[in-house]
Amino acid sequence: MALLFSVAPAGERWAIRSDDLDEDLVFDSGGRAESAARALAHRQAEEGRAAEVRIYLRDGALAGVVSYPSWG
């Protein structure tokens, strides 16, 4: 099963949440949070662990999913 990173609103800011993180990572913009989540997922894939990034809109709707198959 792939390691999940979700990017979602956190008040006025945006957060990355994952079971792999000790605490949420918080950013001032959704774009920055998404870029950071993609980098984390890419790193996991390089290390041999599949990952997935799910991006949510402010209304809670799923905006997109990016999968990173393991290749390390």
Q: pLDDT value at position 20?
A: 92
Q: pLDDT value at position 72?
A: 66
Q: pLDDT value at position 1?
A: 85
Q: pLDDT value at position 40?
A: 98
pTM above 0.85, yes or no: yes
Residues 2-58 have pLDDT tens digits of 999 999 999 999 999 999 999 999 999 999 999 999 999 999 999 999 999 999 999
Instruction: Please state, in angstroms and rounded to a whole number, the distance separating the CA atoms of residues 49 and 58.
Output: 29
Contacts of 67 (CB under 8 A, 6+ apart): 2, 50, 51, 52
CB 41 within 8 A of CB 47: no
